[in-house]
Structure 1
Amino acid sequence: MHSLAIKYEDIIKKILNKKIGLFFITFFIFLSAIALWANFSNQSTLYGTNYGTLDDQADSYSEYIIRNSLVNDFIGNENKNSTLIFTDGYTREPLDFSYYKFNTIIYSHSRSIQRDIYYKLIKIAPTNFINDQPILILNSYNLPPTGWLTYRLQKSTFDHFNIKSTRDIYFQFFRFLNCFLLALLITIFFVTLCERKMMSLLLAILYFMVSGVALFSSNLFICSWAIFIPLVCFFFLRKNISAMYYFFLPFFFSYLYFSIHYLFASTFAILWYLPIFFDEKIRTKKNAVKFVLISLGVIFGFFAEVINHINFVAEKLNIDNIQAFYSIFETARLRLLSLNNVPFPFGLSFFKSMIVRFSSDGIKIPLLVSLSKMFFLITLLFIFKKNLCNMRNVCIWSFLAYFSCYLFSYQHIMVHDIYDSLIFSITIQLGVFLVLAAYLKKRFY
């Protein structure tokens, strides 16, 4: 029995430590992007799909702001090529995300540079976008049932696309593009973490099925790949490089991130500190310098984008900079300081709400198992208590990054509970995956 266990352990060790080539990694990235795009793990929320009538798995409200703004840029009568817009249906009950030419409302709370990129891509071949034509709806009902597994594949892919017209093809391409960037960044992170060994791809596959990753992978507004950028810079910042890189990398990528939106700003900022918390000895002079430079980089990147955003809105709406500032941040006080329509912090309703959130899916492996977010929270607390693999500092980093969002934008995160899954995936769940990677390397290397 003992010899059999040793034999299987040797097999596992060989598999996990098998070196992988660049071609295989590239193929894996494309395959993962397709799986995310097709929502292979079959995860969704009612807020996203509205009983299957809308395309995005998690947040169609924001998705269709981008879509309608793009449509308006090409065929609209008002507010063309301006800031983002709300269409008339956003003021109705129930909400109607369809495009309407008239009664559009300016939405200037985010710069949304991704909209400019989508616009330029459409301009390459705009005919089928402008002259929208109905096409055969691509879903599982067009395909013959050829077995239970094929049925599951069809239900988790073709029904998800909801392609009804030529314009939908453009939007689905943009959604795939977001999935590809997300798959690229996450794969680079795990491949670098595990030194280009097969273990890295196995961890990446599991992480792609984490609910926050799967739900927000393709959203045209959220662009969830952007929040993972600090993780790719993590390995570079751990090397003995010039001190100025600790300023310029956070500055440049913070400017890019805040050009997309200001959501989850505190979490994004704390993600940059992972190289510091990854060290067993945090309190060193070198880490203190890193902390200061990273902080300055993120802060300067944020304010540089705010200035750019104010100038952009002032130009597009033909108003002065003071008016543009108020137009952009008119809801900031509500989101940051208000308790409107949310439970009082640490009250009974607050804890009830958090229990519901932690009871939702944390990871969903098709046909096998689904684990709640509570499982990952308890696991990380256990790791912290036992200091497994000397990763207590990483646990502290995970908790700080997660709860910072509740500290600095309490009203917003409590109203939009769907965003908790994304924040949870990049903080608490990532912490568990980092410890899992450290354990596997220690056990099987």
Structure 2
Amino acid sequence: MTEQSLPKLTEALLAAAKRAGAVEADAIAVDGRSVAIDVRAGHLEQAERAEGVEIGLRVLMDGRQACVSASDTSARTLEQMAERAVAMAREAPQDPYIGLADAADLAKDWDVAALELSDPAEEPAAAALQEDARMAEAAALKVAGVHQVQSASAAYSFRRIHLAASNGFNGGYSRSSRSTSAVAISGEGLEMERDWAAESRIFQSDLPGATEIGRLAGERAAARANPRRPKTGAYPVLLDERISGSLIGHLLAAVNGQAITRGASWLRDAMDQAVLPDALSLIEEPHRKRISGSRPFDAEGLPTMRRAIVDNGVLRSWTLDLATARKLGLKSTANAGRGTSSPPSPGAGNVTLTQGNQSRAELLADMGTGLLVTSFIGATINPNTGDYSRGASGFWVENGEIQYPVNECTIAGNLRDMLRSIRPANDARLHLSHIVPSLLIEGMTLAGD
């Protein structure tokens, strides 16, 4: 499908909605293709290619809304979608807070090209992806102690998105992605341990070499061989940069407008209160170049902008779409996201946590005796109280030095206390959507032996 066809599709959907009796409507069209290659034992194990167009229509009538979607773009289907959506909306419950954005608030004059969200290079051949996967697997198998590679994969995707609404908004952009990953296994039988490495970039030229990725997966798996269970007690815990973003993810979930409006958040009464150490801020940056979470406007056509979620330790902003903002008597933070079959809902994009001045090794030295966590298994999080418990594995540290790998343990605490005590390292990867370094947390409860 040509790029020009997506605007025509959304226009046709809006016209069909108007003919069917909709008061307001918005439409989204997505055109994409993807290729994924898996290799095992040096040979092609699986190849997948997907191409297609998806369309979605939301109609709004007297405080009621309904969403429908389809992958057929024929004129008949568009008319049927509109008629079905209007019929559904008439039966839907009324919500006084839903509705399109005011025309005066819509994004204007954005510069998609400046964000560099789409690689102009040609789509890689399937053979090139297969070679990346093969090289990653071979590199992992060369690492001493690695007995097999569970999976080695390479993938590419490209998609165009276009959004239009009856309030006059009309805009779209493209995204691309190229990735390589490997999962390596050390040990045999009941003693097997696995670990992984993966990299993804918007521009193919920015992607690290497949050999480097495979080698890292192998080294990580080999380092986990012959684990023990750690001691039980209260110890400092250092969350490795690979998984530290999950802790900040719990904070983001707690300040999401949907959680706040439901009263189901442990931070529901924390606005303008300290939630992080005084020197730390959490900033949303939706206009970073070549980053997967960047976008010029949100799913309701509002202009995205830099904002401080936490400023010098103090919570300053909820993450809001139009509906949650109206419920709270606030303005949207332009954080609406949506698919073709669902209405908008709020969610944070690119975020950056203030980095520290110490390396991970220096934080380990300061930690003395404790646990370095490199992976999590499962989670029990109470969204109302912030009580936190997760299965973990990683490495036991004594006198600031890694002693041996550990698994089958649980770390527990309360998110409010944990976040207030974090000390960041300076090792965050700047190409990620969530820039979060390794985080040292004092005095967590560790259940092992």
Q: Taking structure 2 as the reference length, what is the TM-score of the superposition?
A: 0.18
Q: Which protein shows a greater Rg?
A: 2
Between Structure 1 and Structure 2, the one with more strand by share is 2
Between Structure 1 and Structure 2, the one with more helix by share is 1
Q: Taking structure 1 as the reference length, what is the TM-score of the superposition?
A: 0.18
